[in-house]
Amino acid sequence: MKEYDIIVIGAGAGTKLVTPPSQIGKRVAVFEKETPGGTCLNRGCIPSKMVIYPSELLRLKQESERFGIQYPNQPNFDVDGIFKRVNQTVKADSDSIPIAYDKNPNINYYPKKVLFKGPKIITDGNEDYTAKHIFIVTGTRPNLPEIPGLKDTPFWTSREALSPDRFPKSLIIIGAGFISLELGAAYQAYGAKVTGLTRGEVLKHADGEIKEELNKNLPFPIHTNFQFSNIQFQNGMFQVTGKNKEGKNINFKAEKLLIATGIKPNTEDLKLEHTNVQCNRDGYIIVDESLQTGEPGVYAFGDVIGRYFFRHSANFEGEYLFDNLYSGKEKSPIKYPPMPEAIFTHPQIASVGKTEEELIEDNIPYYKGVNPYRSSATGMARLSESGFVKVLVSKKTEQVIGAHIIGEEAANLIHQIVMGMYLNAKLDDYLGMIYIHPAISEITRNAFRKVREQKLKERN
């Protein structure tokens, strides 16, 4: 049996427990059954943003028209070339990871699938391995809906949509969450006819006013409350049949079909039953306040524990584990700071903290300030027709407990509020600072001014 100080299962976010401990003398073995870098690098956040950014440039022609700027010709672009460049860049980055590990004498990289043979023993079928600390960072994969005929068709998941063999003229997307909104907006901008279908509503977990604004400005049509009957693939075309929310039978046809209906954890083939590691009913690994599983010395983090589904949250958890286990500092439970999220669709969306609906459900008193982009100097300059910043402030502490933004640069705008929440800033702190005029951040300031107005009105 090969013995190490650390075993990491999953070379995505798991890399946070590979190089850093190796640099302080720990012997590390890392196992990866697919391409190193995980979902984020290979088939998620990074390639999707590399695809999305050029698509935003293509929207400039349409958006320039309200300024009286006319482009006489359609832009020339090679969409297949864009996807080729993205995938070449991602592959080069992924290929560089094992090369870097091979140069480190304290790291052994194994491109193998492993499973648990015993409480702290894993096997690849030929050799067994053990370590003082084992980290499970196996992530998630697409969850496929139960729709008759689907599994007999060559449907896409986000993996195929980010590396198409050719760009389609038409695309149906089933699902209305992050992946659907991001890739659908990009494909639409590149010239595909995109149609969205979902059993529920668009972005169901978002703040209600964000959903309302998004539904007014969808980047492509999405049919909600759709009841699926059947999916077929014939003569190079997909056909999706079902009933719309009015109960009318309807069918949609397209060259490609993208399934974006959520995710499921990669845990069922790890043979966790050979250990004391426990999973919840959805298959996510249960961990304690220090991210340790029910098996002493075995930890899990990232998507596979089902807390947050972002690379930035997984990175935070990995860094916490390194500090907690190897830095020599006093051990402490993990404490998450405010966790922001963003959807790089069109319009862009960013959020942190509670939604207004959650505050109402939890009976938490709050002030609300909502300021449209157009109600600011930069909004006037940009002729903004939609978008707003919404802040929710505790009446008890006057600290922000939720913020939601929809519109240009939302993912950047949210960070000012995230920093304030992290530092326990109060309403007067946000209003006491000086904002550059006429920067886009004045939209945020104006939202806080709306909170102050509400506060003074209620007190008078």
CA distance 445 to 46: 31
CA distances from 260 to 171, 179, 197, 349 (A): 12, 6, 10, 18
Whether 9 and 107 share a structural domain: yes
Pick the closest to residue 48 from 162, 165, 142 (CA basis).
Answer: 162
CA distances from 208 to 182, 349, 354, 360, 447 (A): 19, 13, 12, 12, 17
Residue 254 CB contacts under 8 Å (≥ 6 apart), including other chains = 168, 170, 171, 172, 193, 195, 237, 238
113 in any annotated domain: yes
232 has which bridge partners?
A: 239
CA distances from 166 to 50, 57, 82, 94, 195 (A): 17, 21, 11, 23, 18
Whether 110 and 173 share a structural domain: no
Whether 368 and 446 share a structural domain: yes
331 in any annotated domain: no
What are the tens digits of pLDDT across the range 268-277? Answer: 999 999 999 9
Whether 89 and 223 share a structural domain: no
Whether 131 and 10 share a structural domain: yes
CA distances from 123 to 71, 107, 113 (A): 61, 18, 9
CA distance 127 to 131: 14
Among the candidates 221, 245, 261, a domain finishes at 261
Q: Report the SS3 class of residue 132.
A: strand
Give the domain CATH number at 167.
Answer: 3.50.50.60
Which residue type is seen at 52?
A: I
Among the candidates 241, 261, 281, a domain finishes at 261
Whether 77 and 7 share a structural domain: yes
The pLDDT score that the predictor gives to residue 44 is 87
- Size of the chain in residues: 460
Whether 317 and 380 share a structural domain: no
Whether 163 and 199 share a structural domain: yes
CA distances from 284 to 32, 69, 140, 266 (A): 19, 52, 9, 8
339 in any annotated domain: no
340 in any annotated domain: no
Q: Are 323 and 331 in contact (CB under 8 A)?
A: no
Question: What one-character-per-residue DSSP string does 287-343 give?
Answer: --TTSB-SSTTEEE-GGGGSS---HHHHHHHHHHHHHHHHS-SPP---------EEE
Whether 404 and 268 share a structural domain: no
342 in any annotated domain: no
221 in any annotated domain: yes
Domain interval for residue 366: 347-459
Write out the two tokens for 229: 């009957």
Whether 11 and 116 share a structural domain: yes
Per the structure, the count of domains in the chain is: 3
The pLDDT score that the predictor gives to residue 319 is 97
**Distance from first CA to last CA of the chain, Å, rounded?**
75
Whether 247 and 166 share a structural domain: yes
Q: Report the SS3 class of residue 285.
A: strand
The pLDDT score that the predictor gives to residue 73 is 81
CA distance 34 to 404: 36
Give the domain CATH number at 365.
Answer: 3.30.390.30
Whether 250 and 132 share a structural domain: no
145 in any annotated domain: no
Q: Name the percent of the chain in helix, strand, coil, to the closest 5.
A: 35, 25, 40
Among the candidates 261, 283, 312, a domain finishes at 261
Order of strands, sheet of 237-243, starting from the edge strand that comes earlier in the sequence: 227-234, 237-243, 249-254
The pLDDT score that the predictor gives to residue 109 is 97
Q: Are 2 and 128 in contact (CB under 8 A)?
A: yes
Weakly modelled stretches of the chain, pLDDT under 50: none
- 8-state DSSP, 246: T
Helix (H) or strand (E) holding 33: none
CA distance 324 to 3: 22
Beta strands in 193-276 (DSSP E): 193-197, 222-223, 227-234, 237-243, 249-254, 256-259, 263-265
336 in any annotated domain: no
